[in-house]
Amino acid sequence: MEDHLSAANNRIIIGLVILAVELILVIFVSLAPESMDLSVEQAIKAGIEEEVQLVGPCEQGVNCRLPDCFCSTFEHHMSRRDIPQMVYFAFDDGMTAEAARHYRRLFRTGRRNPNGCPISATLFVTDKFTDYGALGDLYRHGFELAVHSVTHKTLKTGEEVRKEAVAERDNIVRLSGINPKEVVGWRSPSLISAGDEQDSVLKELGFTYDISLTYTRSHMNESEPWPFTLDFSWPFRCHIPSCPNQTHRGLWEVPVNSMRDYRDEFSCVYVDGCVNRPHNVEEAYNYIMYNFRDNYYGNRAPFGFNMHYAWLLVPENMKAMDMAIRDMLKHDDVYIENVKNVIEWMKKPTALVNISSFEPWTCSRGNDEFVNENYQKALELYTEAISVEPDKDEAYSHRAQAYIKLEQFKDAERDSGKAIELNPKNSRAFFRKGTALFHQEKYAAAKECLQIGLSLNNVDSSMKTLLQKCEAEIDLCMSEQSQGSSKISIGTSSVSPSTELGVNKAAPKDEAGPTVTSSSNSSSAITMPTGPRTRYDWYQTETMVIITVMIKKVQKEDCHIDINEQSVSVCIKLPTGTDYTLELDLAHKVLPEKSMYKIMSTKVEIKLKKAEGVRWTMLEDDGTTSVIKQATVPMDTQPESDQANRYPSSSHYTRDWDKVVTNITKEEKDENLEGDAALNNLFQKIYGDGSDETKKAMMKSFYESGGTVLSTNWKEVGEDKVEVKPPDGMEYKTWET
């Protein structure tokens, strides 16, 4: 009996000791949070962060302090009337050129937040189908670029996350020409997280935030949680496993807020994922705005429209979203920002009254002026930005482009070189330096720059085209040299015109003006212009076709240009006293009253307003030729039928730049695709070439079947809902909410 009593007493004593220790720990934590934080910091430095758990609940200002820690909450400590309603758009997956056109329309230049800066969005990028050139253009338009993996497959371990995150971030940086420090966001494929392993890897790789974990509202009027750091793990129900259970200090988590469908019956995390889909513009508009207003008049937590670009392919959806963005911006306290900028505000909450001076939300007005073709003003603003941040490569690269537009090519060469020095992976800086060197006729140096640029971004068609031109110019110079030209230099602008048939090759090289000689084959005198070789080039935007005639120092009174609905006539008196004429029968119609031309120091630029918003595949109509004349020198020794689209030159070695561009396009088109790439390319072609009914059928069948059916027959799928048809041996399931 005594033994039993002794054992019982021992158990009681041990229990009392444990309770006393727990009480001491609670008192210690409440009285000395700084000491507890210090021990955690020491543990982190020792490399054992995953084993450290913060004791007790998160208390803002006590054991969690901004800018490095923020507790999960449904109510911000700042007064609601002082909080800007932040709205972010997060688009997932591959970024095609077609998607870019839709994004540019929704986030067009004229749309601005109340502080006067452009609205923005975040693109979570996967590798497949991504046009990195267009992606870089959107970045320069103000979009944030973030990582969504390379393959879009489910990543189950930290090492899988590491491999995909590093590879796709490198793709974005290398192929879009941006600073790696700008890529700080991650979203897991299909919103399936790898849990604690994923967050540990993201923090190690320097990512600022993750936006993969979902929070689902059960009804409208229910509040959304604010973004928070994972210092105290994920505190909500884990809707899509796996969620983190450990501490990941300083890593921000942006909960993927849910949408309520337009009937307020079901929730969905993606705009395009709700069961009850809108059928017209009114329903789509109400769907978007009901969710926005619910949050706007609620707790003012940042509200996200998480979506895939395909939803915008439905014209009614696109129109509704366009209208919704317009109406959101009518509020003077609504800011459409990218996710990175939302996190910046979370780190340093700033009241609406002071928001105009909140540095992370200020904008580069230089980009706005550049887009509006005010290049001199843009140059001044870029210079101002460089004075504030002298180590930012993008500022130098932007200013280099402004110098190019102003035809100050030596300055452009200097600035792009500085950008390369600051960021050797900036492919756009190599492109701009190559452009500046090309215009100075330093073709070999330009070629070297472009080759490096293409090694960083081998999908940039503009860079490929310019490289082809450089190689053609070098070939031309070498050909002239082999014909005995008196003065050839590939690296500088000192390239003299070659001699033509019937011209004495021993003509005096120092004589000014035209050279008159006698030919052994003809008794007639031939006038040989000694001015620079003349050529023209063209490119296009969505609304304009721009023709550039490369003649320097043209006087206004010596230039006569006539623009008609489907033709352009150019006549310019050259410094040699001869006339240069160019006659073009255009492939498509233009609007003469909205077209113009501009005389610059090194060229004449003709801007033609497109009558229709179509992409021109060629400048001139099929079967026609450009009638190009210059002085009395034969243009070429080839048959007349071979002179279509050739650029005028004092050399008998001419280059067909239109053919160069066509060859590059053909090479890209003829590239052999295999496996999924070939199949998806086929689907894209069917969709692109299809009628409106075909497109509607493909969209409806794909959405309603959960991606298991793709039909082109509208009569077959137009009346009833398309049923889910999973592959044999597989079962279709939905996530429980």
Q: What confidence score (pLDDT) does residue 146 get?
A: 98
- Which pLDDT does position 188 carry in this prediction? 97
* Amino acid sitting at position 270: Y
Rounded distance between C-alpha atoms, residue 714 and residue 693, angstroms? 6
Nearest-angstrom CA–CA distance, 91 and 138: 13
| Tokens matching residue 120 | 């923005």
* Token reading at 252: 């921000």
Q: Give CA 558 to chain center in angstroms.
A: 42
pLDDT at 737: 35
- Token digits for 212? 């993969």
| Pairing between β-strand 604-609 and β-strand 544-549 as defined by DSSP bridges | antiparallel
> Alpha-carbon distance 333 to 322, whole Å?
19
SS3 for 435-479 is: HHHHHCCCHHHHHHHHHHHHHHCCCCHHHHHHHHHHHHHHHHHHH
The torsion defined by the Cα of 309, 310, 313 and 315, in degrees rounded to 10, comes to -80
Q: What angle do CA 60, 90, 347 make, to 5 degrees?
A: 25
> Quick one: DSSP state of residue 610?
B
Residue 53 confidence (pLDDT): 46
What size, in residues, is the chain? 737
Stretches in the chain below the pLDDT threshold 50: 1-2, 4-5, 7-8, 11-53, 485-489, 492-532, 624-654, 735-737
Separation CA 96–CA 543 (nearest Å)? 19
Instruction: Report whether 454 contacts 132 (CB < 8 A).
Output: no
pLDDT for residue 671: 53
Nearest to 241 by CA among 186, 202, 188: 188
Q: Could you tell me the two tokens for 10?
A: 């021992």
Kindly state the tokens that stand for 613: 């918003």
| pLDDT of amino acid 254 | 97
pLDDT digits (tens, 9 = 90+) for 249-271: 999 999 999 899 888 888 899 99
Q: Looking at residue 660, what is its pLDDT?
A: 53
pLDDT of residue 163: 97
Full-prediction pTM beyond 0.75?
no
Residue 493 is encoded by which pair of tokens? Answer: 């602008």
Dihedral through CA 51, CA 54, CA 60, CA 65, nearest 10?
Answer: -50
pLDDT of 520 reads 36
List of domains in the chain: 86-357 (3.20.20.370), 364-476 (1.25.40.10), 536-610 (2.60.40.790), 691-736 (no CATH)
How far apart CA 122 and CA 125 sit, in angstroms, is: 9
Structure-token pair, residue 107? 């986030």
Of 516, 517, 552, 547, the C-alpha closest to 531 is 552
Q: Cis (ω within 30 of 0) for the bond into 67?
A: yes
